Amino acid sequence: GHGNVSVDLQSDTGIATVTLSEPPVNSLSGEFLTSISKTMKELSADSSVSGLLITSKFHGKVFSAGLNILEMYNKSDSYLGEFWRSVQEWYIDTYNFPKPVVAAINGHAPAGGCAFALMCDYRVLLDGKTIGLNETQLGIAAPFFFTYLMSSTIGIRQAELALANGTMFSSDQALQANLVDEVVPLDLVIPNAMNQLQKMIKIPQPAFSLSKGQFRGPNVKKLLGEREEDIATFVGLLQKPYVQKVLGKYLENLKNRKK
């Protein structure tokens, strides 16, 4: 892997475990996102790889805290633009990955952490953890490609409600809504995810890839066709004074939560 992304390849099955290891909570900075994208590109091109298990080093705590809010606070237009480019790249490389990808969600998965899990083909969530696209709670709206991830997973009506309200689902609610496929105790998160991968890697790979591409290709193509516009939209929204104010307040609350 690259940076704080580690890869462990099982030589007999070709399953690669990708462990997100950015302390303390796997928040996604531009640098971390780029490390993830590079890793995905390499694993995609490696013919000895049959599938991926994506999980977090912070087992039992946090899968990913989502985009690093510090990357969006008090920054120049060009900084924000480059950050957003790395977000787009991460989405394209992960969502478009041609082989099976299973998320072992071994901790909380708010916002970008939820999006990451939604880019995978199957989700196993740790019992008692929360998952959802809570962006509106931060005063921002999730980008269109996050909303597509949610609506292609739980259906348009439920996605629209969840995104408007910034709903964080409990593990029971997430299972009920089909936002995740399994909810299990801690010691089963990785084994059950592995079990699902063992099944998926038996499907002939070209057929798997073609089928996956038929669902996902149009969404990726849309973003590829309007990357610069999407960056401009993001930068424009982020630079609004009220958005910066809300983000600042949110960061402050995060810091003060435990005091």
> Is 134 noted as a catalytic residue in this protein?
yes
Closest separation in Å from C-beta 97 to ligand CO8 = 20
Please identify which residue in 17, 134, 192, 219 interacts with ligand CO8, judged by CB under 6 A. Answer: 134
Cross-strand partners of 104: 124
Q: Of these residues, 1, 135, 138, 238, which one is catalytic?
A: 135
Does 25 sit near ligand CO8 (CB under 6 A)? yes
| Residue with smallest beta-carbon separation from ligand CO8 | 66
Q: Are 131 and 116 in contact (CB under 8 A)?
A: no
CB atoms inside a 10 Å sphere around CB 2: 17
| Residue 13 CB burial class (10 angstroms; 0-12, 13-18, ≥19) | middle
**Contacts with ligand CO8, 143-172, as mask; x by CB under 6 A:** x-----------------------------
| 27 interacts with ligand CO8 by CB under 6 A | yes
157: enclosing H helix or E strand: helix 156-165
Does 132 engage in binding with ligand CO8 (CB under 6 A)? no
Beta strands 131-132; 122-126: pairing state: unpaired
For the chain, the C-alpha Rg in angstroms (whole number) is 17
Q: Measure the CA–CA gap between 133 and 152, rounded to whole angstroms.
A: 14
Q: How many whole angstroms separate alpha carbon 36 and alpha carbon 40? A: 6
Catalytic site includes residue 112: yes
Q: To 10 degrees, what angle do helices 205-225 and 144-154 make?
A: 140
Q: Where in 28-87 is the site for ligand CO8 (CB under 6 A)?
A: 61-62, 65-70
The footprint of ligand CO8 on residues 93-112 (CB under 6 A) is: 108, 110-112
Check 26, 96, 106, 134 and give the catalytic one. 134
- Sites for ligand CO8 among residues 202-241 (CB under 6 A): 234, 237
Catalytic-role residue among 20, 33, 43, 67? 67
Residue 67: active-site member:
yes
Task: Centre a 10 Å sphere on the Cβ of residue 198 and count the other Cβ atoms it contains.
Answer: 15
**Residues marked as catalytic:** 67, 112, 134-135
Applying CB under 6 A, the residues found at the interface with ligand CO8 are 24-25, 27, 61-62, 65-70, 108, 110-112, 134-135, 138, 140-143, 234, 237, 254-255
